[in-house]
Structure 1
Amino acid sequence: MGETRPLAAIVDDDPRLIESLQDLLESAGYRTINFRSAEALLGSGLATVDVLITDIGLPGADGFALRDAVKRQHPELPVILISGRYEFADDKRAQVTGDFFRKPFNAQDLLSAIGNAVHSRKTGG
């Protein structure tokens, strides 16, 4: 029997944040897969991923570049951006996706956004 829990891919270069997000998501019923860079995620394939959560400030390709690459390959895949930076330009660029959270973020708000994104993808709306 296949796994029915949604799979969230987390991309961040901070292992503490990855662990924290992994704990949060798994406690809410998600499976997680973690990556330290955009390149690592893109090299792995996204066929089974239901939602992508990525930091903006990644080494190499940043979270915006990752979002754009993912949207070219999998336009239906929801992408949620997170950042610890406080730059106005980030706000403008993040508005393209709709879901953008600044660290520290409210865990329940993030879970709600993830749930809505996964539900919308599965129902086609």
Structure 2
Amino acid sequence: MHKADGKAVVHIVDDEPAIRNALQRLLSAAGYPCRAYASGEEFLKGSVGARDCVVADVHLPDMNGLDLLAAMNARGQSVPMLIITGFATVELAVQAMKAGAVDFLTKPFESASLTEKIETCLAVGRLRQATLERRRNASMRLSSLSEREVEVLGQVIDGKTNRAIGDILNISVKTVEAHRARIMEKTGALSLVDLTRLWDATRTSMAQADESRFASV
């Protein structure tokens, strides 16, 4: 029997009471904490954990599953979603995956198929959360650097030598070396590879934050 993370909840969004209740019973019996909703609006009024996942019917009374996914994305809720439907087409499946759904399942389906895809969604959720934590940690570590140290770090990441950095920033080689030492100390990085990973993670986080701001306008 597969069991989800103790903190993870499977959110079921389906307007058909019989299917909604059947899914909740099946997943609860398999060891997954569940919450069920009859509409997209009802679901959006609730709270969703970062490591949760959503099982949503593509046809809902107030919005379709893809609209629900779009609403979650607009809120910055990158919770993995499994789209289910009794009227599957290749076009619909492609639309669901392009919209960001983790997977697609056609009714009727075997319980093993459902739990297998739930496990995939939960694994994706854990991976996304771990990635987010790494980016937050990287941002926190780099935020301790002074403006000059950030300038030096940027040149280091670009592969510049200490002498070249000194010429570009109009400082001595010894000053560059001192900045580099403080950068390593403040960030806890052990090598240039570590620094590059921190730098890339922070830039990715900032780019995604900018995308979210523009999407909400």
TM-score of the superposed pair, with normalisation by structure 1: 0.86
Moved more, 15-24 or 43-52: 43-52
Match of 1:109 in 2: 113
1:42 corresponds in structure 2 to 44
CA distance in 2, matches of 1:98, 1:117: 6
How many pairs does the alignment contain? 123
Name the CA shift for 1:15/1:73 in 2 (closer, same or farther; >3 Å).
same
State the Cα deviation string for residues 25-46 of structure 1 (Å, max 9, x = none). Answer: 1111111111100011111232
Q: Which is helix-richer, 1 or 2? A: 2
Are the aligned partners of 2:27 and 2:33 in contact in 1 as well (CA < 8 Å)?
A: yes
Larger RCO: 1 or 2 (CA < 8 Å, sep 6+): 1
Partner of 2:165: none
4+ residue stretches of structure 1 with deviation over 6 A? none
Q: Aligned partners of 1:24 and 1:34: how far apart in 2? A: 12
Runs (5+) with no aligned partner, structure 2: 132-217
Match 1:51 to one of 31, 53, 72: 53
SS at match of 1:95: helix
Sequence identity of aligned pairs in percent? 27
> Does the 8 A contact of 1:50 with 1:118 survive in 2?
yes
Please list every run of 5 or more consecutive structure 1 residues that lacks an aligned counterpart in the other structure: none
Structure whose CA Rg is larger: 2
Correspondence for 2:126: 122
Within the candidate set 51, 63, 69, 2:65 is matched to 63
Q: What TM-score does the superposition give when structure 2 sets the normalisation length?
A: 0.52
